[in-house]
Amino acid sequence: MFNQKHLELFNNQQTPFYYYNLELLQNTILAIQKAAPKSYHIHYALKANAHPTLLKPILAAGFGADCVSGNEVKRAVECGFKSENIVFAGVGKSDREINYALEQNIFCFNVESMHELKIINELAGNKGTKAGIALRINPNVDAYTHKYITTGLEENKFGINPYEFDAVLELLKELPNLNFLGLHFHIGSQIQDLTAFKNLCVRVNEINKWFAQKGFLSKNINVGGGLGINYREPDTQAIVDFEAYFKVFQSFLELMPEQQLHFELGRCIIAQCGSLISRVLYIKEGINTNFAILDAGMTELIRPALYQAYHKIENISQLNSVANKKYDVVGPICESSDCFGKAVELPLTQRGDLIAIRSAGAYGEVMSNRYNLRDAVESLFTGSLS
């Protein structure tokens, strides 16, 4: 994917930095629009990457915003998302965040516990308004992904469990400041086996019917996000097979008349558009292990350290050389977990070479931190550079 033009551009840039390919973002958005039936509502999960420059084409495509904090709601509002297209989830919404979202008159709070229902009812009452709410359900469906990003099992803190359903309905009847809009689900992230989404559909059908039979018809069904990407081959499959994904819901979800279907996609929209670009500071030759020490670390991309995640690593200063040497590619942070990849095959690598750590567009920049008092990092955006 990288060529001589990238190299010239990157050589003038202070490293490390995040590089975003806006052309790929646009093509990914178009692929979603082509694959999703017109009636589907797509919300972009800002938690994956909330940079205003990236939000622009997403907004222009007509997608809504899925937020998990007051500041994400604020970012969405400031970037022009209409309040009726903003949803707000999260197990621990503070009073301040709830009040702000009420003032913005957002479409829906995805509520994660009975206690939260009571508090939103109270805060809406104080403002003399009504809050639109969906119940976030914990469906106990395995996403078959890393345990840190599994959210739909009973052992996870997220959502309302089926054994609470009767009590929730009783409670809802007593809370006058809530407007019941539907049901919300999200079982996890980086889900590559579509079977997990089929299993989700089966559970959604059961739960949806149960609520309808009790007199609570859900106008909206939100199945969350979670569609995974190919970290190993970011160029051969830069855009996920959205058709196969949406087909699962078309085939397995039994929506009732008038029910609207919502999605909250993050990673699969933005991950492949971004790379973390870094320079080699030092080479340390060892007996068993050679180290390539970069000027980027786990402070700029924490996924390998936190989830043992694989990210493809390329030496873009040696585009035409054969990868014939193994390096542990590490950062400068004082932690042994500050390692982007072990025994990575690269061409002979030297001080000053530019290294790209791929698929860093999602959960890269947003999860960066200033540990070791590191400098904040800039971003670089391009359109077509082919």
Binding site for ligand LLP (CB under 6 A): 45, 47-48, 66, 89, 149, 151, 186, 189-190, 224-227, 264-268, 303, 307, 363
Q: How far is the CB of 228 from ligand LLP (least distance, A)?
A: 7
Give the CA distances from residue 157 to residues 70, 89, 207, 328, in Å, rounded to whole numbers and listed in that order.
20, 13, 19, 36
Q: How far is the CB of 45 from ligand LLP (least distance, A)?
A: 4
Nearer to ligand LLP, 225 or 280 (CB): 225
**How many Å separate Cα 27 from the centre of its chain?**
18
Pair 177, 130: CB distance under 8 Å = yes
Nearer to ligand LLP, 66 or 314 (CB): 66
Q: Residue for token digits 């599994």?
A: 150
Nearer to ligand LLP, 117 or 316 (CB): 117
Nearer to ligand LLP, 50 or 316 (CB): 50
Nearer to ligand LLP, 66 or 328 (CB): 66
Nearer to ligand LLP, 307 or 371 (CB): 307
CA distance 8 to 385: 11
Q: How far is the CB of 255 from ligand LLP (least distance, A)?
A: 20
DSSP 8-state code for residue 379: E
List, in sequence order, the alpha helices (H) in the chain: 4-11, 22-35, 52-60, 70-78, 95-104, 114-126, 165-174, 195-213, 242-252, 267-270, 303-307
Question: Amino acid letter at 222?
Answer: N
Q: How far is the CB of 149 from ligand LLP (least distance, A)?
A: 5
DSSP 8-state code for residue 79: T
Give the CA distances from residue 220 to residues 6, 91, 168, in Å, rounded to whole numbers and listed in that order.
44, 20, 18
Q: How far is the CB of 185 from ligand LLP (least distance, A)?
A: 9
Q: How far is the CB of 187 from ligand LLP (least distance, A)?
A: 10
CA distance 229 to 108: 28
Nearer to ligand LLP, 16 or 304 (CB): 304
Listed residue (30, 88, 20, 90) closest to 63, CA to CA: 30
Q: How far is the CB of 181 from ligand LLP (least distance, A)?
A: 16
Q: How far is the CB of 68 from ligand LLP (least distance, A)?
A: 6
CA distance 25 to 63: 13
Give the alpha-carbon dihedral of 293, 296, 297, 298, to 10 degrees.
-150
Return phi, psi of residue 39, to 5°.
-75, -15
Nearer to ligand LLP, 302 or 354 (CB): 302
